[in-house]
Structure 1
Amino acid sequence: MEVDYKRAFENSPVGQAIARNRVIVACNHTFAAIFRSSIADLVGQTFERLYPTQADYESTGRRVGARLSAERSYSDDRVMRRINGDLFWVRVSGFTYTPRNAHAHTLWVFTELAKTGAEGQSLRSSLTDRERDVATLLIEGKTGKEVAKALGISPRTVDIYRTRLLRKYNAANTAELITLLLTA
């Protein structure tokens, strides 16, 4: 029996994207669903629209490119942006076929870090569900009161979670925490 690799790619239970120079040239149904879009709307677009900010897209590209050149593969947990603007946590693993030009031809796998998902070894995936919720809203620029209202908890509880996050990331303030969450 012959394996239909195209069909296997399209229907894989994990999000997959093939990119050339950070432009999506192919992706599967799960990838499109993770980002709340369609394959047709994503193919031909840069990954930039899936990052919280342009600065995050650029700095991640430099950091990941260096690692891909040296090791051919890369993996981390990060905050990304769905097409509707919502931020969420995702585990990203990638491979380059062209280490001398790291972003020239890559394959990426995306797994949403669901609230019920297994915890990994990285600092980001060691966050509790509530810490992840608070961190995502802080990245969106919400105040403690706005975070409390969005999550249905007290502002004091938000302060407790923010303090935990500051300690976990060894950050001096919320601005530094957000920078670390986006770039670490």
Structure 2
Amino acid sequence: MPRSPAPPLPPGACDTDYRTAFALAPVGLVISRERRMVDCNQAFCRIFRTHRELLIGQSFALLYPSHEEFERTGARIVARLDAEGHYADDRVMKRSPSDPRGELFWCHVAGQALNPAAPHEAGLWSFEDLSDKRAVAPLAADGRGALTAREREVAALLIEGQRSKQIGRQLGLSPRTVDVYRGRLLRKLGASSTPELVQKLLAAG
């Protein structure tokens, strides 16, 4: 399909090639369609430690710790997208998609759905590596293991200051079930209260 001609630059703007601007932007950028990567830039490839040719046409599922987390994130985007098609969250993702043992890390994702009525139809998404600010929780002090996928989702929303009822609405859980996960997190991180738990989650690692 031939490309549409680029729109004229506004008065005073430098004569920038927008394709180059996309490729060299300092933040990870992806154009998506039906949750597949149509295009991505160099910063995105650096974040995920891979190459553009290995990502184009592939599902975002490659970049998640599990297919379950990929599906739940997709449902959460549909539920939380605002009227103008904006969405943002912090989530755990996986580097080096060709490696089953790829490193897990926290990532801030923000996006714009081009058609808010169909959130996954097409969109533009930005990705910011948060690993310098927040580590994925390591093995607990008592050796009971790292957080499960669902525990990570609950933990991310607790960090945002959300209450059990709000978390349950977003994750499709009852408030009581959210409280069960909160209790597990308290035990795993050795916290005695939710504020202390949030501080430990932020400082994990």
TM-score, scaled relative to structure 1: 0.67
- Return the alpha-carbon distance in structure 2 between the equivalents of residues 71 and 17 of structure 1: 19
1:98 aligns with 2:115: yes
Q: Structure 1: 5+ residue runs without aligned partners?
A: 118-128, 148-164
Q: Select the structure that is richer in helix.
A: 1
- Return the alpha-carbon distance in structure 1 between the equivalents of residues 187 and 34 of structure 2: 30
Q: Structure 2: 5+ residue runs without aligned partners?
A: 1-13, 147-154, 160-178, 189-200
**Aligned ranges 1:19-30 → 2 under 5 Å:** 19-30=32-43
Which protein shows a greater Rg? 2
What residue in structure 2 maps to residue 15 of structure 1? 28
Contact 2:92–2:107, Cα closer than 8 Å, also in 1? yes
How many angstroms does 1:65 deviate by?
1.9
What residue in structure 1 maps to residue 104 of structure 2? 87
Contact 1:69–1:102, Cα closer than 8 Å, also in 2? no
Instruction: Give deviations 1:95-136, integer Å, cap 9, x for gaps.
Output: 011111111111000010142x5xxxxxxxxxxx5xx34x1x
- Return the alpha-carbon distance in structure 2 between the equivalents of residues 176 and 16 of structure 1: 38
- Return the alpha-carbon distance in structure 2 between the equivalents of residues 146 and 75 of structure 1: 29
1:50 aligns with 2:67: no
1:61 aligns with 2:60: no
Pick closer, same or farther for the CA change 1:145–1:96 going to 2, 3 Å.
closer
The SS at the match of 1:144 is coil
TM-score, scaled relative to structure 2: 0.60
- Return the alpha-carbon distance in structure 2 between the equivalents of residues 13 and 62 of structure 1: 29
Number of residue pairs matched by the alignment: 142
The SS at the match of 2:83 is helix
How many angstroms does 1:144 deviate by?
2.3
**Aligned ranges 1:169-184 → 2 under 5 Å:** 171-174=182-185
1:144 aligns with 2:143: yes
Contact 1:90–1:110, Cα closer than 8 Å, also in 2? yes
What residue in structure 1 maps to residue 198 of structure 2? none
- Return the alpha-carbon distance in structure 2 between the equivalents of residues 64 and 176 of structure 1: 30
How many angstroms does 1:13 deviate by?
0.7
- Return the alpha-carbon distance in structure 2 between the equivalents of residues 5 and 73 of structure 1: 22
Pick closer, same or farther for the CA change 1:175–1:39 going to 2, 3 Å.
farther
Identity %: 40
Aligned-pair RMSD on alpha carbons? 3.1
